[in-house]
């Protein structure tokens, strides 16, 4: 690591002047690179008058690859230190790091790569396509146990077919998602392409010579253009066709990083340039304000919160704070406003409900109580004294006079002969309109018009219920209600709205997670680098008693073995 | 503070809607009991009444909010609550006036009780107190209740 830094970072002691048209710049990684405004070419190698462009080097590199395309993939030994391996993978995967040593780190260590998925290639029976952890691909013959990075002619057709199928499958999957999403991704893809075309990409050129030994395989793996694979691109190492005339090899994230650095320089908002996961959050949520308020209201509904609780109690109890819908509204003030609206409307509906209930309510429990306990042997006063502690008699909404009147009427009715009581009951049932009483109703959910009538309780329960059941079975089914259709429509609309909002919320949550993961990775990477630097420092400080000469000798030897 | 309701029938039953807010009021009552039974040790002399005043304020605010802001309770219930000392009627009367919307307690605006015939320090707007000064008033521990804050 140290060695390569030394090589590239410090320029040669005597710098020849640049040829006309070339300018020197500092890359975000700390390297200086050179850019030709006329030819729009950038390079890390300092151009002299003799070598105007770095093309020749790249081409040579490629031809060496092509000369030996059928070398089987060989995997380097994996690291015993797993954390180091992890950071290594991160380097290659995203490339979203800050600092000067990133590219060196990527180059100097062997990449940890291993086969991950294996797919059967259609119409090429013994051959299988293997995808590695880093997204490279090679073909493997299960019979002859041969593996090639470069696909042989006959296998190539199968691979192309396979890719086509895979692409179709992915498209289908994407079509399943919401159209909003798709648009999002498309625009992102376009932006990404633009960025790749116009941004300065000197990173890999200077490395070509070093890369030869380790990245040979990479150059020949991919034949397919993968521009449509924006979704899983970050996981994949971008490669190129050998005959492409662009000499640079640069993945999305390097570009994104450079863009971000440039944007910072110009003081831009992160949302204003480039693509990536984190800009979306900065650019604006898919949730509108009404949506977020509605989400918050749903949260309150779902937690069955009483609208009468004070706001402070609600917060301190913390039941709603853990829900992700709580975070939809940005400030506590906004939440309180939403809560006010919700509680007011909720109290309204509760009041309305209670008002509608209050009209039917008070007499029903009392009459049911009479049916169970009243007897002709007791006068009203006796009955009242006997049951004075029952809640039915203590009901404040019925006056004592009313209670007495109902009791006396009931007692006189109890003295009637059973046949008269039966005919009374049938007349009562016939007087109920079909809307309230029909075949769908049963003896347990009768309309209140029946329940509040004294004729209903004159007969003993067993006889009465059998009579009512017999009568109900002769009734036609309930008439089709027009209001119900309207209600259903409303409900379905509301449900649709709710689904939409929830989807948007999930999307937002996903993005937040992504962002978090990215930050964590950055942090970990930074820590790893710090640790490495510390180690290096330690190593540098450790000059033995042999003095500087011994140390230098040591170093030389090490250099030789490498 | 409401009187403890014991013997049934000795006083009028609460009007309709009381059952909705009963739980919250009970919570306030429990808090108040805890505050009353708390030890005074380690507290300054004037600090002892602070929690009592604060709970009273909260409960009054709750009832004020329900009646005037959210319109959740009936006039009868509101009157009944005031009559039974669930809320401080004088404090609520002040809240209805402009400039006193957040008043912490009635004592803080009693100018006659102070040496210089002035209101309490908590009535001074935050930007006039001076930067970084953390004030807490003597009578109820209020940290500032000026309307503009």
- Cβ within 8 Å, pair B72-A344: yes
Is the pLDDT at B98 greater than 90, yes or no?
A: yes
Phi first, then psi: what are they for A63, rounded to 5°?
-65, -35
Cα B59 from Cα B37, distance rounded (Å) = 19
Residue A331 DSSP label? S
Q: Using CB atoms within 10 A of its CB, is residue A501 exposed (0-12), middle (13-18) or buried (19+)?
A: buried
Contact B20 A308 (CB under 8 A): yes
Smallest Cα–Cα separation from A135: which of A252, A53, A310? A252
Spatial separation of the C-alpha atoms in residues A370 and A374, rounded to whole Å: 5
Nearest to B70 among A306, A313, A343 (CB): A343
* DSSP H helical ranges for A69-131: 82-93, 102-108
pLDDT at A546 over 70: no
Residue A312: in which H helix or E strand, if any? Answer: helix A311-317
Model confidence at A111, in pLDDT bands (50, 70, 90)?
low
Give the residue with greater pLDDT, A172 vs A521: A521
DSSP E strand stretches across A142-250: 146-148
Chain A residues within 8 A of B62 when measuring between CB atoms: 310
Nearest-CA distance A400 → chain B (Å): 15
Q: What is the pLDDT of residues A431-453, one digit of tens each?
A: 888 877 877 777 777 887 788 88
Q: Do B13 and A309 touch (CB under 8 A)?
A: no
Which chain A residue lies closest to B19 (C-alpha atoms)?
A: A308
User: pLDDT band for position A485 (50/70/90)?
Assistant: low
Measured between beta carbons, which residues in chain A are less than 8 angstroms from residue B21? 308
Q: In whole angstroms, how large is the CA radius of gyration of chain A?
A: 40
pLDDT computed for residue A61 by the predictor? 44
d(CA A396, CA A407): 17
Q: Output the pLDDT for position A215.
A: 40
By CA distance, what is A351's nearest residue in B?
B72
Contact B65 A306 (CB under 8 A): no
Whether residue A59 lies within 8 A of chain B, CB to CB, comes out as no
The C-alpha atoms of residue A331 and residue A323 are separated, in whole angstroms, by 15
Q: Which residues of A touch B20 (CB under 8 A)?
A: 306, 308, 350
The span from the CA of B62 to the CA of A538, in Å, is: 65
Q: How many residues does chain B have?
A: 149
**B110/A contact by beta carbon, under 8 A:** no
Binary contact (A308, B71; C-beta < 8 A): no
Average pLDDT for chain A = 70
Residue B13: which of A309, A340, A396 has the nearest Cβ? A396
Q: How far apart are CA A457 and CA A370, in angstroms?
A: 8
- Confidence at residue A532, expressed as pLDDT on a 0 to 100 scale: 95
Task: Check if B20 contacts A (Cβ < 8 Å).
Answer: yes
- The answer on pLDDT for A398 being more than 50 is yes
Say whether residue A306 is in contact with chain B using an 8 A CB cutoff. yes
pLDDT digits (tens, 9 = 90+) for A118-158: 877 777 777 888 888 777 888 888 888 878 887 777 788 88
pLDDT at A263: 54
Q: Is the pLDDT of residue A82 over 70?
A: no
Cβ contact, residue pair B23, A310, below 8 Å: no
∠ CA A540-A541-A546, nearest 5°, is 95
Rounded average pLDDT over B10-34: 87
Q: Has residue A109 got a pLDDT over 80?
A: no
- With cut-offs at 50, 70 and 90, classify the pLDDT of residue A514: very high
| Pick from B23, B62, B72: CB nearest A347 | B72
- CA distance from start to end of chain A: 12
Q: Please identify which residue in the block is written with the tokens 């804050």.
A: B149
> In 3-state terms, what secondary structure has residue A190?
helix
Q: Do B72 and A340 touch (CB under 8 A)?
A: no
**B24 near A CB under 8 A:** yes
Long-range CB contacts (within 8 A, 24+) of A131-137: A133/A89, A134/A89, A134/A92, A134/A93, A134/A236, A134/A237, A135/A235, A135/A236, A135/A237, A136/A217, A136/A218, A136/A221, A136/A222, A136/A237, A136/A239, A137/A221, A137/A222
Confidence tier at A254 by pLDDT (50, 70, 90): low
Residue A481 pLDDT = 59
For residue A215, CA distances in Å to A42, A69, A75, A225 come to 21, 13, 12, 19
> Which residue matches tokens 């971008």?
A238
How confident is the model at residue A364, as a pLDDT? 83
Q: What does the pLDDT read at residue A10?
A: 42
In chain A, % of residues over pLDDT 70: 61
Interface of A with B in 349-408 (CB under 8 A): 350, 396
CA atoms of B22 and B2, how far apart (whole Å): 13
Q: How far is CA B105 from CA B35, B91, B93, in A?
A: 18, 7, 11
Averaged pLDDT, A209-227: 40
Whole-prediction pTM = 0.46
Mean per-residue pLDDT, B82-102: 94
Coil vs helix vs strand at A238: coil
The separation between CA A531 and the C-alpha centre of its own chain, rounded to angstroms, equals 33
Q: Cβ(B86)–Cβ(B59) under 8 Å?
A: yes
B71 Cβ under 8 Å from any chain A Cβ: yes
Does A492 contact chain B (CB < 8 Å)?
no
Average pLDDT of the residues in B97-110: 93
Q: Which residue of A has its CA nearest to B61?
A: A310
Q: What DSSP letter does each residue of A415-482 carry, written as one string?
A: TS-HHHHHHHHHHHHHHS-TTTSSTT--TTS--HHHHT-GGGTSS-HHHHHHHHHHHHHTSPPPPPPH
Burial of A33-58, coded b for 16+ CB within 10 Å and e otherwise, reads bbbbeeeebbbbbbbeeeeeebeebb
% pLDDT > 90, chain A: 6
Quickly state the pLDDT bin for A165 (edges 50, 70, 90).
confident
Q: What's the CA angle centered on A512, arms A510 and A513, to 5 degrees? A: 65
Classified as helix, coil or strand, A43 is strand
pLDDT tens readout for residues A356-372: 776 666 788 888 888 88
Kindly report the backbone phi and psi dihedral angles of residue A269, in degrees, each rounded to the nearest multiple of 5, phi listed first: -75, 145
CB < 8 Å to B69, chain A: 340
Closest partner residue to A310 (CB to CB) among B13, B62, B71 is B62
Asked whether residue A255 carries a pLDDT value surpassing 70, the answer given is no
Chain A residues in contact with B87 by the CB 8 A cut-off are none
- For A266-312, the pLDDT digits (tens) are 544 444 444 434 444 444 446 778 888 888 888 888 888 888 888 88
Q: A403: Cβ–Cβ under 8 A, 6 or more apart, which residues?
A: A366, A384, A393
CA distance A428 to A450: 7
| Alpha carbon distance A20, A17 (integer Å) | 9
pLDDT of residue A196: 44
| Window from A242-251, A394-403, A426-435, B76-85 with minimum mean pLDDT | A242-251
Strongest mean pLDDT among A355-364, B6-15, B59-68:
B59-68
Task: Give dist(CA A114, CA A118) in Å, integer.
Answer: 12
HSE toward the beta carbon, residue B51, CA cutoff 13 A: 16
Residues 6+ apart with CB under 8 A from A388: A394
Q: Give pLDDT tens digits for A41-50.
A: 888 888 776 5
- A81-85, A532-536, B36-40, B43-47: least confident range: A81-85
Which of A305, A306, A310, A344 is the best substitution to test chain B (most B C-beta atoms within 10 A)? A310
The pLDDT value recorded for residue A358 is 64
Q: How confident is the model at residue A67 (pLDDT cuts 50, 70, 90)?
A: very low
List of chain B residues whose C-beta atoms are within 8 Å of the C-beta of residue A316 = none
Say yes or no for a CB contact (<8 Å) between B24 and A309.
Answer: yes
The mean per-residue pLDDT over the stretch B119-133 comes to 87
Residue A510 confidence (pLDDT): 92
Boundaries of every domain in chain B = 20-33+45-96, 101-149
Residue A412 predicted with pLDDT over 70:
yes
Whether residue B53 contacts residue B114, with contact meaning beta carbons closer than 8 Å, is answered with no
Mean pLDDT to the nearest integer, B84-112: 93
Ranges of H-type helices in A140-178 = 153-176
Asked if A103 and A258 count as a contact pair (C-beta separation under 8 A), the reply is no
Question: Is B13 touching A (CB cutoff 8 A)?
Answer: yes
Give residues with Cβ within 8 angstroms of A220, minimum separation 6: A65, A66, A69, A149, A150, A242
> Could A350 and B20 be called an inter-chain contact, meaning their C-beta atoms sit closer than 8 Å?
yes
Closest Cα in chain B, distance from residue A299 (Å): 20
Q: A400-409: per-residue pLDDT in tens?
A: 888 889 999 9
Task: Give the range among A69-73, A298-302, A386-390, B127-131 with minimum mean pLDDT.
Answer: A69-73
The pLDDT of B115-119, averaged and rounded, is 90
Interface test with B, best of A306, A308, A317 (most B CBs within 10 A): A308
Of A308, A347, A396, the CB nearest to B24: A308
For residue A253, name the pLDDT band (cuts at 50, 70, 90). Answer: low
H/E stretch holding B53 reads helix B50-64
Task: Please tell me the predicted confidence (pLDDT) of residue B101.
Answer: 93
Cα separation, A139 vs A131, in Å, equals 9
CB–CB contacts below 8 A, A to B: 29
Higher pLDDT, B137 or A448: B137
pLDDT of residue A559: 65
Q: Give the distance from residue B112's alpha carbon to the nearest chain A alpha carbon, in angstroms.
A: 34
What is the rounded CA–CA span in Å between residue B7 and residue B9? 6
Q: Which of B70, B74, B75 should be substituted to probe chain A, the one whose Cβ sees the most A Cβ atoms within 10 Å?
A: B70
Residues A236, A116: contact at Cβ < 8 Å?
A: no
Give A31's pLDDT tier (boundaries 50, 70, 90): confident
Using CA atoms of A255, A260, A265, A269 in order, give the dihedral in degrees to the nearest 10: 140
Distance CA A76, CA A210 (A): 17
Check pLDDT > 70 for residue A420.
Answer: yes
- Give the minimum alpha-carbon distance from A309 to chain B in angstroms, rounded to a whole number: 6
């Amino acid at each position: 690591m140290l060695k390569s830094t030394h090589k590239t970072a410090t320029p040669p002691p005597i710098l020849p002047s640049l040829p006309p048209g070339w300018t020197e710049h500092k890359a975000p990684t700390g390297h200086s690179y050179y850019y030709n405004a006329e030819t729009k070419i950038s390079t890390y190698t300092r151009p002299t008058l003799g070598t105007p462009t770095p093309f020749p080097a790249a081409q040579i590199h490629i031809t060496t690859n092509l000369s030996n395309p059928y070398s089987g993939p060989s995997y380097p030994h994996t690291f015993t230190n797993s954390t180091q391996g992890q950071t290594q993978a991160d380097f290659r995967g995203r490339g979203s790091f800050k600092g000067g040593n990133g590219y060196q780190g990527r180059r100097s260590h062997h990449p940890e790569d291993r086969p991950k998925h294996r797919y059967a290639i259609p119409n090429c029976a013994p051959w299988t396509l293997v995808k590695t952890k880093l997204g490279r691909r090679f073909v493997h013959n299960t019979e002859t146990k041969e593996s090639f990075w470069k696909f042989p002619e006959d296998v190539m057709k199968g691979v192309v077919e396979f890719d086509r199928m895979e692409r179709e499958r992915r498209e289908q999957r994407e079509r399943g998602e919401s159209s909003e999403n798709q648009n999002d991704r498309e625009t992102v893809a376009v932006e990404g392409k633009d960025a790749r075309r116009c941004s300065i990409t000197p990173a890999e050129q200077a490395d070509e010579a070093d890369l030869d030994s380790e990245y040979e395989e990479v150059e020949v793996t991919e034949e397919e253009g993968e521009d449509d694979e924006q979704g899983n691109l970050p996981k994949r190492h971008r490669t190129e066709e050998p005959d492409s005339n662009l000499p640079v090899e640069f993945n999305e994230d390097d570009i994104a990083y450079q863009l971000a650095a440039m944007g910072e320089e110009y003081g831009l908002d992160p949302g204003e340039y480039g693509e990536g996961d984190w800009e979306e959050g900065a650019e604006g949520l898919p949730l509108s304000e009404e949506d977020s308020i509605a989400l918050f209201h749903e949260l309150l509904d779902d937690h069955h919160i009483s609208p009468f609780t004070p706001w402070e109690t609600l917060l301190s109890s913390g039941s709603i704070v853990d829900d992700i819908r709580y975070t939809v509204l940005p400030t506590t003030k906004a939440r309180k406003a939403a809560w006010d609206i919700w509680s007011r409307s909720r109290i309204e509906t509760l009041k309305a409900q209670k008002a509608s209930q209050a009209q039917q309510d008070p007499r029903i429990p009392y009459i049911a109580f009479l049916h169970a306990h009243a007897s002709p042997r007791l006068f009203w006063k006796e009955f009242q004294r006997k049951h004075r502690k029952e809640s039915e008699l203590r009901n404040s909404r019925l006056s004592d006079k009313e209670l007495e009147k109902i009791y006396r009427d009931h007692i006189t009715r109890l003295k009637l002969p059973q046949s008269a009581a039966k005919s009374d009951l049938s007349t009562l049932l016939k007087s109920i309109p079909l809307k309230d009483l029909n075949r769908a109703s049963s003896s347990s959910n009768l309309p209140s018009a029946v329940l509040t009538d004294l004729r209903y309780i004159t007969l003993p329960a067993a006889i009465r219920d059998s009579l009512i059941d017999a009568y109900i079975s002769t009734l036609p089914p309930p008439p089709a209600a027009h209001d119900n259709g309207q209600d259903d429509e409303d409900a379905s609309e509301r449900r649709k709205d709710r689904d939409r909002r929830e989807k948007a919320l999930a999307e937002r949550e996903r993005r937040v997670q992504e962002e978090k993961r990215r930050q964590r990775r950055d942090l970990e990477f930074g820590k790893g680098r710090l640790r490495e630097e510390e180690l290096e420092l330690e190593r540098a400080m450790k000059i033995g008693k042999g003095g500087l000469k011994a140390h230098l000798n040591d170093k030389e030897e090490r250099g030789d073995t490498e | 503070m409401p009187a403890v309701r014991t013997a049934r029938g000795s006083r009028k039953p609460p009007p309709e809607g009381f059952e909705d807010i009963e739980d919250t009021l009970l919570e306030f009552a429990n808090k108040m009991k805890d505050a009353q039974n708390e030890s005074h040790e380690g507290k300054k002399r004037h600090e002892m009444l602070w929690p009592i005043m604060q709970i009273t304020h909260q409960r009054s605010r709750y009832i004020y909010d329900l009646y005037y802001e959210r319109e959740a309770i009936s006039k009868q219930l509101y009157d009944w609550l005031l009559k039974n000392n669930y809320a401080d009627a004088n404090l609520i009367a002040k809240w209805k006036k402009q400039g006193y919307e957040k008043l912490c307690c009635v004592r803080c605006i009693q100018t006659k009780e102070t040496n210089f015939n002035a209101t309490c320090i908590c009535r001074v707007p935050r930007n006039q107190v001076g930067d970084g000064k953390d004030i807490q008033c003597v009578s109820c521990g209020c940290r500032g209740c000026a309307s503009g804050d």
